[in-house]
């Protein structure tokens, strides 16, 4: 008698992000994602794609951001995202769930992502956005901290 065990298909999750100035919000996204998949792939957006989509270059270069994310034990693999189309990442990684912050839920970007992946059976899963910290806030604070102090100019006598 032969015992056939059914093949269990693992859920591959994909968590794209810039992961610049890595902070607790990034960690929260990865933790939430890890709970909802068997294999977690973090998509680290390239410097050029960050500049294209956000209008600013990351402080930390791509290779260093990938190394930081790769070193987190809940992340199984890291993928460099070099095009703006998440479908390109899907073709390369083969995920069945993509994770985004809930600031995307109900937005035109979120709806477009859902529509884009629906024919492929990819589920878009939203997580709570960590309001008290973001790379944008950190970038502003760093810029303000290193800005030269205004020079007092004496009034004419």
C-alpha span between 99 and 48 (Å, rounded): 22
Sequence spans of domains, the chain: 12-131
Structure tokens at 77: 């693999």
Query: Could you tell me the end-to-end alpha-carbon distance of the chain, in angstroms, rounded to an integer?
Result: 105
CATH number 3.40.1260.20 is the correct assignment for the domain at 12-131: no
Output the tens digit of pLDDT for each of the chain's 157 residues.
445 556 778 999 999 999 998 988 899 999 999 999 999 999 999 999 999 988 989 999 999 999 999 999 999 999 999 999 999 999 999 999 999 988 899 999 999 999 999 999 999 999 887 656 665 665 665 566 666 656 566 666 6
141 phi and psi, to 5 degrees? -65, -40
Closest C-alpha to 43, from 128, 106, 53, 130: 53
Neighbours of 96 (CB within 10 A): 19
């Amino acid at each position: 008698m032969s015992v056939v065990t059914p093949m269990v298909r693992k859920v591959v999750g994909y968590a794209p992000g810039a992961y610049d100035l890595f902070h607790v919000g990034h960690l929260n996204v990865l933790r939430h994602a890890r709970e909802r998949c068997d294999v977690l792939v973090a998509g680290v957006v390239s410097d050029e794609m960050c500049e294209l989509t956000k209008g600013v270059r990351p402080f930390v270069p791509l290779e260093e951001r990938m190394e930081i994310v790769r070193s987190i034990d809940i992340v199984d693999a890291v993928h460099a995202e070099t095009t703006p189309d998440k479908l390109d990442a899907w073709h390369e990684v083969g995920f069945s769930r993509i994770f985004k912050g809930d600031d995307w839920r109900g937005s035109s970007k979120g709806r477009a992502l859902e529509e884009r992946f629906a024919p492929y059976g990819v589920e878009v899963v939203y997580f709570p956005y960590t309001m008290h910290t973001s790379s944008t806030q950190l970038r502003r604070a760093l810029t303000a901290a290193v800005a030269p102090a205004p020079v007092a100019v004496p009034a004419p006598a």
